[in-house]
Structure 1
Amino acid sequence: MIKVRTGDLDLLIILIVIGFLFLFPKLAPQYLIVLSTSLFVYCVIAKSWAVFSGPTGYVSLAPAVFFGIGVYISALFSFKLSLPILVSLAGIISFILALPMGLLTLRLKGIYFTIFTFSLIEFFRHFILWSESTFFKTRGRIVAIVDYRMVYYTMLVIFALLLIFSFLLRKSRYQLALKAIGENEDAAAHCGVDLTLTKVIIFALSSIFIGASGAVMAMRWTYIDPYIAFNPNYSFIPVLMALIGGTQNFYGPVLGAVILGLLEEKLITAIPHYSLAALGVILIFTVMYLPNGLMPFLSNILNKFMQKLSGKIQNDLRLNKKLKV
């Protein structure tokens, strides 16, 4: 009997999904391509958040900061730089800014860390608003518009790189260090884990993909300002998606982002003033009845079904052997 290792299976699934998504724009109408781009953004932010916050238990609300930085990098340089260079620049600047932010905030724990990271959204929003009005006598900026197919493929590349990074990280010693930090920081330190270095590096690396996605997403808009760029929803909603999908599972944040992204699209159309309240109710029920998220729940159902199917096949084979005898 041939046994397939979980890591090999995950890599195969990633390649198949990316291959299908690469061909998708050639088959789908424009609306579905644009919708898929929005889902990519949610998937990237939710998965990036889960890479660090999932194993460590540090609930960061900083994704909107890095997303907004990427948006403003795009607004500043979209008419001067090519798209690949622009996206790379947004990721690099997000990484550079995340290093001192991580050194400052990751000394805190629990609710204090969460509140501090949320306050960074307000700080950057008002700082850029003040800078724009003081030095440039403006509030917002015009962004160069790129073809929607180019935006789709660029987001697909960012999403693919994030999955590969997450896959490699899961196989590395840093993932074990993150889990040890999440279970008991003091014990992890006694085992030789460099707490500060591990937390700051992974926190900063995960910010690269969020900043890059912000730079790409800005090109779908004709105008941005600090209130659009540093919208707290880009912290709250992806975190909600990751929690509902399951932060401890490799595919959980992506599943949660796809399901809630589609649901949000319907809710905004049906009940625009109550869509966020409806998402909050969904989170409450998820925490109450599915504390580990949807993906572990679905995995358990699938495992039980496969066990029953395997048992049935084995019984049928035994029965056939008896009949032959």
Structure 2
Amino acid sequence: MKALVSILLVVAVAVLAAVPWFGSDVLVQFGINALLLAVLAQGWNIIGGYTGYASFGNSVFYGLGSYGVAIAMVQWELPFAVGMIFGVVLAVAFAFLLGLPVLRLKGHYFAIATLALAQVMIAIVSNIGIAGQNIGLVLPPLNNDPLFYELSLILLVAATATVFWLTRIRFGFGLIAIRENEEGAAVMGVNTTLYKVLAFALSGVFSALAGGIHAYWITFLDPASAFDISLNVKMIIMAVFGGPGTVLGPVLGAFVLSGVSEVLSSEVTSAAGLFFGLVVVVAVIFMPRGLADLMRRFRTSGWRYFAENLRAHRI
């Protein structure tokens, strides 16, 4: 069974990699957005799904990665790769500096604290000259959608491989222990503060890399778009829809919801937001553990799976 799953994954990646050569320009552009959202959902999965801390601060990492690339390329005239590294350094530094105090909070206190971080960063960046202040920065154009598509796909594969690796090592077991019972994990010898900060930083690395690719792709950046809190909401919804705390759930959730959103926005335009929200609500009610859990249990439970979820949550 594992061998079959591995073969299917390799085939899926190969098919995705071939899209720029066989798909239309519109499909490639949609693919870039979907792949980057999948990376963000997978990055959030590390801190939210495995560690159990519902972070609303990952959009800050995304913005720092975007500005790392923009500042390096526009202000310092450095290559894109150097800008990506600079963005990751900014994200990791932010994760350690802010993670140490913020990750001492729990539950909704932690969520509220991280929610405020994006607004704070918008105010700070809007007053920094090297970041273009409120005006923003315009990056040198590179009309090469296939390149950005492949970079996004490589990043998604790396993020997913990292999450899979976490499920096989002591560090990942420690994160799961923190999610299930943080006090118990501490008693068992897990350095919960260090583990949480490292998870926060690792989550930030992938968010920053996604932000850097997106910034160079769209060639324009300003504080409001770089630190957009709605992007954080999207990555959480996609991870939860697909199945938090699973290897492939966030990726599946991102692809499905990106497709649903694209179809609704093109077919019903103004009502797309309403229908998209309805899809998410129905999904949460009938499969609260996400698509990954549905695919695993539907083979044995069948349609009873949905009824069991309704009864379990007293709906």
Same topology, TM > 0.5 = yes
- 1:140 maps to which residue? 136
The runs of at least 4 aligned residues of structure 1 exceeding 6 Å deviation read none
| Cα distance in 1 between the residues matched to 2:257 and 2:123 | 30
| Cα distance in 2 between the residues matched to 1:61 and 1:160 | 23
- 2:290 maps to which residue? 293
1:35 is displaced (CA, Å) by: 0.8
- 2:231 maps to which residue? 234
| Cα distance in 1 between the residues matched to 2:133 and 2:122 | 16
The aligned amino acid for 1:139 is I
Structure 1 pair 237/169, CA: closer, same or farther in 2 (3 Å)? Answer: same
Q: Does 1:176 align with 2:173?
A: yes
| Cα distance in 2 between the residues matched to 1:271 and 1:95 | 41
The aligned amino acid for 1:208 is V
1:220 is displaced (CA, Å) by: 2.3
1:219-298 to structure 2, matched below 5 A, reads: 219-298=216-295
- 1:312 maps to which residue? none
C-alpha distance after superposition, 1:212-247 (max 9, x if no partner): 110110122232211111111210011101111111
| Cα distance in 1 between the residues matched to 2:267 and 2:123 | 33
> Contact 2:51–2:199 at 8 Å: present in 1 too?
no
Q: Which has the larger radius of gyration?
A: 1
> Contact 1:75–1:144 at 8 Å: present in 2 too?
no
- 1:318 maps to which residue? none
Structure 1 pair 105/145, CA: closer, same or farther in 2 (3 Å)? Answer: same
> Contact 1:55–1:178 at 8 Å: present in 2 too?
yes
Runs of at least 5 residues in structure 2 that lack an aligned partner in the other structure = 303-315
> Contact 1:43–1:253 at 8 Å: present in 2 too?
yes
> Contact 2:71–2:83 at 8 Å: present in 1 too?
no
1:27-106 to structure 2, matched below 5 A, reads: 27-79=22-74, 80-106=77-103
TM-score (norm 2): 0.88
1:301-316 to structure 2, matched below 5 A, reads: 301-302=298-299
C-alpha distance after superposition, 1:6-48 (max 9, x if no partner): 4x66554443333332222121121111111100111000011
Greater Cα offset, 160-169 or 88-97: 88-97
| Cα distance in 1 between the residues matched to 2:193 and 2:223 | 31
C-alpha distance after superposition, 1:64-113 (max 9, x if no partner): 11111111122212342333332233223212221112112110000010
TM-score (norm 1): 0.85
| Cα distance in 2 between the residues matched to 1:274 and 1:77 | 40
Greater Cα offset, 146-155 or 102-111: 146-155
Structure 1 pair 12/52, CA: closer, same or farther in 2 (3 Å)? Answer: farther
Greater Cα offset, 250-259 or 140-149: 140-149
Greater Cα offset, 87-96 or 221-230: 87-96
| Cα distance in 1 between the residues matched to 2:180 and 2:105 | 16
The aligned amino acid for 1:37 is I
| Cα distance in 1 between the residues matched to 2:81 and 2:14 | 21
Percent of aligned pairs with the same residue? 27
Q: Report how many residues are paired.
A: 299
- 1:128 maps to which residue? 125
| Cα distance in 2 between the residues matched to 1:288 and 1:137 | 43
Structure 1 pair 137/286, CA: closer, same or farther in 2 (3 Å)? Answer: closer
Superposition CA RMSD, Å: 2.2
Q: 3-state SS of the aligned residue for 2:20?
A: helix
Greater Cα offset, 190-199 or 295-304: 295-304
Q: 3-state SS of the aligned residue for 1:61?
A: coil
- 2:185 maps to which residue? 188
Q: 3-state SS of the aligned residue for 1:192?
A: coil
Greater Cα offset, 69-78 or 112-121: 69-78
> Contact 1:132–1:139 at 8 Å: present in 2 too?
no
> Contact 1:67–1:234 at 8 Å: present in 2 too?
no
Structure 1 pair 201/259, CA: closer, same or farther in 2 (3 Å)? Answer: same
- 2:307 maps to which residue? none
| Cα distance in 1 between the residues matched to 2:197 and 2:251 | 24
1:253 is displaced (CA, Å) by: 0.6
> Contact 1:132–1:138 at 8 Å: present in 2 too?
no
> Contact 1:132–1:140 at 8 Å: present in 2 too?
no
- 1:22 maps to which residue? 17
Greater Cα offset, 65-74 or 263-272: 263-272
